[in-house]
Amino acid sequence: MAFDYEQYLRPGKLPHIWCPGCGHGIVMKGLLRAIDRCGLQKNNTAIVSGTGCASRLPGYVDFNTLHTAHGRAAAFATGIKMAKPEMDVLVVGGDGDGIAIGGNHFIHACRRNIDMTYVLMNNYIYGMTGGQFSPCTPTGDRTSTTPYGNPDPIFDVAKLAIGAGATFVARTTAFHATQIDKLITAGLRHKGMAVIEVLDDCPTAFGRHNKFRSVVEMMKRLKDIAVPTQAASQMSPDQLRGKILTGILHQEEKPEYCEQYQQVIARAQAAAKF
């Protein structure tokens, strides 16, 4: 039976602004299915984004939404969660927004292990501003600002999040549509900072510079490079070259920031003898 997405969408907003074949729409659908599965209430849920293509998402969904300055989504979301710890806070954004311009906010949200879910749509590029390379553009690939190939090594978003202290880190691709909502559901149910990286396709800005002539070719590439973590444990390093692990990559229990902060408030009030 068709899932009723309209119940979570603002009326009259479709068709959306994203290009033909852009995976952001697939991720948005997965996000809405996950929200439905977890039973999040519209009035008690905040969806925060920075700036960019992926950050258009909150404009379409009928929750408490916030569209903020470029890269600052995690900072604003931290503020919401601190002021209203009972709210479910989600952050959505792209790789340029979350890892480059907002890299600092991203790592510190991970370090604090604040209870929010960050869905990072990694399409390897700054799509909205004209296809400039981002820290996630693969080495050697061409963009409008690296026409002879990108010399930079990439940020591995999952490793960065794990290293910074996030307690739930998962990765999937826009091709694996059912896995998107499963991982976001697991992230929403996790207490602490959950980072779900979704490898995405940008046919307009990334594909045309890198010999992907169609959306379908880009989707097939996502299908080919993804290896589930269980299957990867039985593969040789040679077989894993050029592949990307998908599934839950890291999960642990650590003290959550809002709870720790409440304890600080209690200690301060006790010391002040209110």
Partner 1 sequence: MNNPKVEVIEDYCKGCSICVEFCPTDVFEMVGFVARVVRPEACTRCMLCELRCPDFAVKVY
Q: Which residues bind partner 1 (CB under 8 A)?
A: 1-3, 5, 9, 14-16, 18-26, 29-30, 175, 177-178, 203, 214-216, 219
Shortest Cβ 36–partner 1 spacing (Å): 14
Shortest Cβ 27–partner 1 spacing (Å): 9
Shortest Cβ 183–partner 1 spacing (Å): 14
Number of other residues whose CB lies within 10 A of the CB of residue 223: 11
Shorter beta-carbon distance to partner 1: residue 68 or 172: 172
Query: Which residues are CB-neighbours of 197 under 8 A, at least 6 positions away?
Result: 120, 122, 157, 158, 161, 169, 170, 171, 172
Shortest Cβ 21–partner 1 spacing (Å): 3
Shortest Cβ 55–partner 1 spacing (Å): 16
Shorter beta-carbon distance to partner 1: residue 3 or 130: 3
Task: Tell me how far apart the alpha carbons of residues 107 and 160 are, in angstroms, rounded to a whole number.
Answer: 8
Shortest Cβ 74–partner 1 spacing (Å): 25
The strand pairing partners of 47, in sequence order, are: 65, 90
Shorter beta-carbon distance to partner 1: residue 120 or 219: 219
Shorter beta-carbon distance to partner 1: residue 13 or 254: 13
Task: Tell me how far apart the alpha carbons of residues 49 and 125 are, in angstroms, rounded to a whole number.
Answer: 17
Q: In what order do the strands lie in the sheet with 226-228?
A: 64-67, 45-49, 88-94, 117-122, 194-199, 168-173, 244-251, 226-228
Could you tell me where the beta strands, DSSP code E, fall in 12-128? Answer: 45-49, 64-67, 88-94, 117-122, 125-126
Shorter beta-carbon distance to partner 1: residue 121 or 160: 121
Burial of residue 270 (CB within 10 Å: 0-12, 13-18, 19+) is exposed
Shorter beta-carbon distance to partner 1: residue 131 or 207: 207
DSSP 8-state symbol, 132: E
The 3-state DSSP class for residue 212 equals: coil
